[in-house]
Amino acid sequence: MILKNEKLADDVFQSLRKEVLEQWPTGRAVDFEAAVKYQKEIPAAKRFSLKLDKADKEGATLIQPRAGVALPDEHIELLRFLETEGEADLLPSTIDSYTRHNRYKEAEVGIEESRTHHRSLLNGFPAVNHGVEVCRKVTSSVKSPVQVRHGTPDARLLTEISVAGGFTSYEGGGISYNIPYAKEHSLEKTIYDWQYCDRLIGLYEEAGVTINREPFGPLTGTLVPPCISNSVAVLESLLAAAQGVKHLTVGYGQCGNVIQDVAAIKSLRKVTEDFLREHGFGDVTVTTVLHQWMGGFPQDESKAFGVISWGAATAALAGATKVIVKTPHEAMGVPTKEANAAGLKATKQVVSMLADQNLLNLKEVNEEARIIEEEMRAILAATLEIGGGDFALGSVRAFAAGVIDVPFAPSKFNAGKILPARDMNGAVRLLDTGNLPFTDALKKFHKDKLEERGKAERRPVSFQMVVDDIYAIGKGHLVGHPQGGAR
Ligand code: 5AD
């Protein structure tokens, strides 16, 4: 197999499909024609991409939780609670870890044990085991659009069952669901498997069914420089569009400095739109999502609300189309439905109050966005070059060469050469740019920002800053100053 960023041929797709639908008995119930008919009967108000497009035109920021339990009735009750009590605009179905690893036998045991013990013994909703009919029951039992959210390197069967099951949005990508989640999965294979997922959604689009696609933005969620996660989002957008995807939501995980975060969302949208247009996909719609703080959370619930609210404010000020919401139970594990609704309501309050404000045209934001854009363009140009003009092959080679490099990623297909640290204002900079294809001016920009911090802290710029920054949040600070919160 030679990876290429080209639409999978029909015969290749159909022969793969036979194998995919045999992976678990529920696969046999997938009937594409019937699924298209079912999808077409879903009311417009429940179609994910339409609700996002409308919010985007109005400049509104929609709120969406994460949620998933093992059994269908409890899962439906949970989603209903989040849309009524929690005021969620968009709903999720978070998939359990066994399903993410294609371990359907173990998921089945988890379902049985959850029935016996009257509580969820899986950390999400096992959509593959439940199959098409149960998914339709879930998606038709709520008023809002529902998305599948997961973290699955080989998600082909899950995609088949989800879309046939009435979900109208689907998260993930061949890079973003590999590098931060897996150690041994080859990037070449996961990109190929995700071409299948995107081609399937392309087939639905061609049959008149719009399905929203969301590459997973935050990656490892720890000190990821915006240029890295944004470049991956652009690549996954191009890979998806080549398979016929028409509705994309590109994402970014909050880093904590509001100027940098607003600039990141601004440049993410702009460069994604530019690249799609320049590569012949000008008809694809682009919306954005900000993920509230993906790093460690305080145990204390009031403090957790502080973190949640800062994420909510950042999403509103960045004009993100939606925000993925954390809960006051984040430090503890899977939240109760009440804690989940509480995070949503705190977020709704902040987003509503900031509905008429944004920082998108602030001078400092424009300056920061210009730098992120320059970095992204350098990374994307080098990726295309190393791939001999192909973004799929280029992505594999760029990761191998460290042209794209995700900090703190478990994957052995990631170079792991760059080192991020925060500057004096908490913005994420690079202490070591590794093999990123940056100009000397860009390298100097990062160096100067960190030297400014070293001077203020009266210590040399070193790995210790990285360590201090990782621990800072646990102590209630963004920047790991040696003297604590003060400069
Ligand atoms: N319900 C709610 N939140 C979940 N997360 C993972 N699984 C679930 C679930 N079943 C959340 C984690 C973390 C994020 C990556 O996903 O708490 O915030």
pLDDT in tens, 53-89: 999 999 999 999 999 999 999 999 999 999 999 999 9
Strand blocks (E) in 319-369: 322-324
Residues facing residue 91 across a β-bridge:
146
Mean pLDDT of 135-160: 98
Ligand 1 binding residues, C-beta < 6 A: 66-68, 94, 123-124, 326, 330, 334-335
Tell me which amino acid residue 218 is.
Answer: P
Alpha helices in 248-336 (DSSP H): 258-278, 301-317
User: Which are the contacts of 412, defined by CB distance < 8 A and separation ≥ 6?
Assistant: 183, 184
Q: Which atom of ligand 1 is nearest to the CA of 125?
A: 10
For ligand 1, atom 16, name the residue with the nearest CA. Answer: 66
The residue assigned the tokens 């299948």 is: 196
Q: Is 171 a catalytic residue?
A: yes
Q: Which range has the worst mean pLDDT, 212-216, 229-233, 293-297?
A: 293-297
Q: What is the DSSP string of 33-96?
A: HHHHHHHHTS-GGG-HHHHHHHHHHHT--EEE-----SSHHHHHHHHHHHHHTS--SSEEEEPP
Model pTM above 0.95: yes
Residue 14: how many other CB atoms lie within 10 Å: 10
**C-beta of residue 371 within 8 angstroms of C-beta of residue 444:** no
Give distance in angstroms: CA of 325 to centre of ligand 1: 10
**What mean pLDDT do residues 176-184 have?**
96
Look up residue 17 and give its two tokens. Answer: 């499909």
Supply the pLDDT for residue 487.
56
Q: What is the pLDDT of residue 164?
A: 98
